[in-house]
Amino acid sequence: LAHSGLSSGNMAKRLHLMIYGPFGTRKTPIAHGLPNTRTLDFDDGMQSVEWAILAGKLDRTLGDVVYETITPPPSMDESKNKIFDYSQDVIDRWLADEDVDPSEWEEYCADQSEGRVYPQFWDTLIIDSGTSLTTGVIVKALQETHRLELSKSWSKRRKGGLTPVMIQDRGAVNILFSNFMTMCFGTGKNVVLICHEYQNVGKKGALHGIEPLLSGQLRQTVPKDFDEVWYSKIKGTVRENKGVLQTAADPMHRCRSRLGCLDPFEEGDFADIKGKVAKFYGVPEDKLWVASHGTTEAKEFAEEVAADAVAI
């Protein structure tokens, strides 16, 4: 710890954060308080970020928010759902953005984004939401188990109808989702996974707990991959309210914070949270949660993480 912890000045540690909660609790605007974000927008929910900026609740400009809305086409034919593969292509493209010579960036943007010049370098990947991403993962898993002749579920699908999902398909869903998150962590960026909430209700109607809304076992396994798991809620009245983040577990909510210095409930303001963390660990605030940049640094970061894992 004397050499690897934040207090030693080691800035290599990235922020891996899951935020989950009900609809309308400002999860998306809160996440965009992190530095230099790029967002995989599976929920088509970036309107809330625009509102937060225009209302003065988020200290950013519209021009520096970069995102890609990735939703399946309006079709009952599941084979048209390509969001899993496409989202990986988007991440690769964003990493490649950072390899462009900065002197050529404006010209590059003219070719790539109809002339809009957006920030070249970024530090935070937001996945909004893991709940919607799961739909694309399920389709991909069904296709892969069919290709490998492990399941006949995909061949039994009916356009406009139901597709049966077998046990082996669910295992493939878990593996693909976990592999996707491993790839995201391997970019060397801060990673924020936003999820809706799942209410675990017993047979007699009693509420046993509130968990991230993911498929099956992913509700238990995915949170373990994150250092920070926070639950979002709204505090106040209908007219006067603010987003609040619960960072400590209680009998109903699965939460945790390995940072250790946060209160059980924090206001949804990452500038304040970042300042508190920097002060506690005695590190420069502007150096905290700065990520790798470009495909070369991302590859080096992934190799370093893999080497550390093997060493363990």
Q: Residue 312: its pLDDT value, please?
A: 53
**pLDDT for 255 beyond 90:** yes
Range of lowest pLDDT (69-78, 208-217, 252-261): 69-78
Q: Residue 134: its pLDDT value, please?
A: 92
Report, as an integer, the average pLDDT of 72-92.
86
- Residue 208's φ and ψ, nearest 5 degrees, are -90, -25
Q: How does residue 178 score in pLDDT terms, banded at 50, 70 and 90?
A: very high
Percent of the chain with pLDDT over 70: 93
For the chain, the average pLDDT equals: 88
- Domains, the chain, with CATH or none: 6-311 (3.40.50)
**pLDDT for 114 beyond 90:** no
**pLDDT for 176 beyond 60:** yes
Q: What is the pLDDT of residues 194-232, one digit of tens each?
A: 999 999 998 888 899 999 999 888 999 999 999 999 999
Q: Residue 11: its pLDDT value, please?
A: 62
Q: Residue 159: its pLDDT value, please?
A: 58
Interaxial angle between packed helices 167-185 and 130-147, expressed in degrees from 0 to 180 and rounded to the nearest 10: 120
**pLDDT for 19 beyond 60:** yes
**pLDDT for 10 beyond 80:** no
* Choice between 258 and 152, residue whose per-residue pLDDT is larger: 258
Residues whose CB falls within 8 Å of the CB of residue 93, separated by 6 or more in sequence, listed in order:
none
The 3-state secondary structure of the chain reads CCCCCHHHCCCCCCCEEEEEECCCCCHHHHHCCCCCEEEEECCCCCHHHHHHHHCCCCCCCHHHCEEEECCCCCCCCHHHCCHHHHHHHHHHHHHHHCCCCHHHHHHHHHHHCCCCCCCCCCCEEEEECHHHHHHHHHHHHHHHHHHCCCCCCHHHCCCCCCCCCCHHHHHHHHHHHHHHHHHHHCCCCEEEEEEEEEEEECCCCCEEEEEECCCCCHHHHHHHHCCEEEEEEEEECCCCEEEEEECCCCCCECCEECCCCCCCEEECCHHHHHHHHHHHHCCCHHHCCCCCCHHHHHHHHHHHHHHHHHHC
- First vs last Cα of the chain: how many Å apart? 15
Report, as an integer, the average pLDDT of 174-186.
94
Q: Residue 158: its pLDDT value, please?
A: 63
Cβ(129)–Cβ(196) under 8 Å? yes
Q: Residue 215: its pLDDT value, please?
A: 87
Adjacent-strand bridge partners of 241: 236
**pLDDT for 76 beyond 70:** no
Q: How does residue 311 score in pLDDT terms, banded at 50, 70 and 90?
A: low
Sign of the Cα torsion 219, 255, 309, 270 reads positive
**pLDDT for 98 beyond 60:** yes
| pTM (whole model) above 0.75 | yes
* Choice between 216 and 28, residue whose per-residue pLDDT is larger: 28
